[in-house]
Structure 1
Amino acid sequence: MGMMDPGSVVWFEVDTTDPQAVKDFYGSLLGWTFQTVPTPDGRTYTLISADGAPLPMGGFWEPAPGVGEGFVLAVRSADVDADIARLKDHGADVVSAAGPAADGGRSARLTDPRGTHFSIWQSPTQPPAADAQPDAAPGAPVPGSLGWFEIGTADIETSKTFYANAFGWTYIHDTGVASRTYFAAVTPGDTMGSGGLADTGTSDGARDYAAPQFLTPDVPAAVARATQLGATVESGPETTAYGLTHARLTDPRGNRFLLFTPPPMPPQG
């Protein structure tokens, strides 16, 4: 997903009252594996990994935090308490105050000015200098892994401004996406983009959301399998002008996610 600099999306959480349904669906669809670990506050936290990946990419709490169903993207923070004050000045609202994260760090849940949930996470120890930080997931991404994120917004300019001010994101207009206006989001420590902002203002269905996007070798086949497992297709499969194929779905619990296959690699000369 890119570097582990503050401002980068480095994790996701699943809010759900039915953890087994999450395990059954994504285990069958994407081959996810799950490991439950104790946490400092006496609850349990389940780590989510793609099969063959060296590190987990997300997790969920048991019992659930009581904020409904859905995926929440987590952004790395150097100082959660300072960031909360700063983000409120930019129009964010606090949903869950700063407190212990599952790994002993600190985290907080907020909403952006459009009401979309996100979290900020601070590691248990202060991270080293940016040039010494490792990638969040070394090596090539494996199928089922978190390879991108997408924020859908019916007010693209408000959302672009918020995340630029909040986390230092910059944007590249992706003219290869034909169905809507789309901007690749370049997060700190990144050069090519690790997520995107999609303009949903003129589309039907989903209006504002934040969702993880998972790598699959065959989007149409994965979409067909997902629907067999009870998912609903919201858009796609669609192929961009440069050959990336993607689709947006909701799982049987109503949680929104995306699937993508990168463009074919050019032949090696």
Structure 2
Amino acid sequence: MTTAEGSDNMQQRTTALHTPCWTELSVPDPEAAKAFYGAVFGWHAQTDPRPEAGGYAMFLLDGAPVAAVSPMYDDSTPVAWSVCLSVSDAERTALQAAEHGGRTLMPPVDVFDLGRYGVLTDPEGASFSIWQANRFSGADIIGDPNALGWIELSTRDPKRALSFYPAVFGWSTHLSDFYTEWSIGGTHFGGLVDLNQMPAPAAEVPAHWKPYFRVDDVDAIAARAAGEGAGVLLPPTAVPGDDLRYSVLKDPQGAHFGIFAPAA
């Protein structure tokens, strides 16, 4: 999980290129997800009424878009949160990813007049989305309580990940005894976990990205989520050598996400 420096730097209202700009949830029952996340984070869901939007809904925090939820459109769609990175040229990014061992799961396409969206994987298969903004740039709030504040890659091949993402997105890496962090332009926004160092069953999951939402009180939000039917995969825990607490949760439909906050 992040450092105090990283969490402070993430408190921004705009999204820089090649940093997280959005996160989306794909679940069998979007209405149940709207109720759960509304109870946990105070989000209000606004569903796009256009038939071609397929039931896509934005989560709003005080009227500002912070995330989204959609139904599972086919059997290949996992029940999961996905992370989305801001890019200036979606096609060029997809080509660069392929040159460094990644794959394109969904070629970039126009989403109305909002922007261009594609889905890629890194060399190990961890999927992520890219967004080339037009009328919509992504989350209006990043790093504030009850909004996206961090993204984390879980991988079995850290060496290759530490080569792939800097080559494609220009990220800097920061290594420590406890954790590896990503940054760009001085802003720390994510980290890397080596699944080889994790105990079962966490060590057995495929490589993946996971969003973390900043909250005011990790213990209180973890308890609230559990009361709404979530599983607590990692109880509220202090970050070694840091003034942060974090927890990893599983929503009632099985999607994993994290929460974090400065320690009281």
Task: Report the TM range for the smaller structure's normalisation.
Answer: 0.7 to 0.9
% identical equivalent positions:
30
Query: Aligned residue for 1:206?
Result: 202
Query: Aligned residue for 2:180?
Result: 183
Alpha-carbon displacement from aligned partner over 1:198-238 (angstroms, at most 9, x marks no partner): 22212122342211111222212221222222222222321
Looking at structure 2, the residues matched to 248 and 166 of structure 1 have their Cα atoms a distance apart, in angstroms, of 28
- Structure 1 unaligned residues grouped into runs of 5+: 128-134, 176-180, 265-269
Query: Aligned residue for 1:215?
Result: 214
Higher RCO, 1 vs 2 (CA within 8 Å, ≥6 residues apart): 2
Looking at structure 1, the residues matched to 49 and 136 of structure 2 have their Cα atoms a distance apart, in angstroms, of 22
Q: Is the 8 A contact 1:107 1:119 kept in 2?
A: yes
- Corresponding residue SS for 1:57: strand
Q: Is the 8 A contact 1:219 1:247 kept in 2?
A: yes
| Displacement after TM superposition at 1:263 (Å) | 4.2
Length-normalised TM-score, structure 2 = 0.83
Query: Aligned residue for 1:22?
Result: 33
| Displacement after TM superposition at 1:125 (Å) | 6.2
Q: Is the 8 A contact 1:39 1:103 kept in 2?
A: no
Query: Aligned residue for 1:55?
Result: 64
- Structure 2 unaligned residues grouped into runs of 5+: 1-9
Change (3 A) 1:263 1:171: farther
- Corresponding residue SS for 2:253: coil
| Displacement after TM superposition at 1:246 (Å) | 0.4
Q: Is the 8 A contact 2:158 2:192 kept in 1?
A: yes
Most deviating of 209-218 and 64-73:
64-73
| Displacement after TM superposition at 1:23 (Å) | 0.8
Change (3 A) 1:217 1:7: same
What are the within-5 Å matches in structure 2 for residues 225-264 of structure 1? Answer: 225-240=224-239, 241-263=241-263
- Corresponding residue SS for 2:23: strand
Amino acid at match of 2:256: R
Looking at structure 2, the residues matched to 251 and 94 of structure 1 have their Cα atoms a distance apart, in angstroms, of 28
| Displacement after TM superposition at 1:154 (Å) | 2.1
Matched, 1:193 2:181: no
Amino acid at match of 1:260: F
Looking at structure 2, the residues matched to 155 and 214 of structure 1 have their Cα atoms a distance apart, in angstroms, of 25
Return the match for 1:153 from 152, 155, 158.
155
Query: Aligned residue for 1:83?
Result: 93
Change (3 A) 1:147 1:196: same
Looking at structure 2, the residues matched to 123 and 26 of structure 1 have their Cα atoms a distance apart, in angstroms, of 26
Q: Is the 8 A contact 2:115 2:136 kept in 1?
A: no
State the number of aligned residues: 247
Q: Is the 8 A contact 1:217 1:261 kept in 2?
A: yes
Looking at structure 2, the residues matched to 42 and 200 of structure 1 have their Cα atoms a distance apart, in angstroms, of 36
Amino acid at match of 1:64: Y
Change (3 A) 1:124 1:118: same
What are the within-5 Å matches in structure 2 for residues 91-102 of structure 1? Answer: 91-101=101-111
Looking at structure 2, the residues matched to 60 and 114 of structure 1 have their Cα atoms a distance apart, in angstroms, of 26
| Displacement after TM superposition at 1:33 (Å) | 1.2
Q: Is the 8 A contact 1:173 1:183 kept in 2?
A: yes
Return the match for 2:130 from 120, 129, 152.
120
Structure holding more strand per residue:
2
Most deviating of 242-251 and 2-11:
2-11
| Displacement after TM superposition at 1:193 (Å) | 0.4
Looking at structure 2, the residues matched to 45 and 107 of structure 1 have their Cα atoms a distance apart, in angstroms, of 14
Alpha-carbon displacement from aligned partner over 1:67-116 (angstroms, at most 9, x marks no partner): 12111100111111111111111111111122122653111111111211
Change (3 A) 1:126 1:57: closer
Return the match for 2:84 from 74, 79, 104.
74
Change (3 A) 1:263 1:97: same
Length-normalised TM-score, structure 1 = 0.82
- Corresponding residue SS for 2:150: strand
Q: Is the 8 A contact 1:40 1:104 kept in 2?
A: no
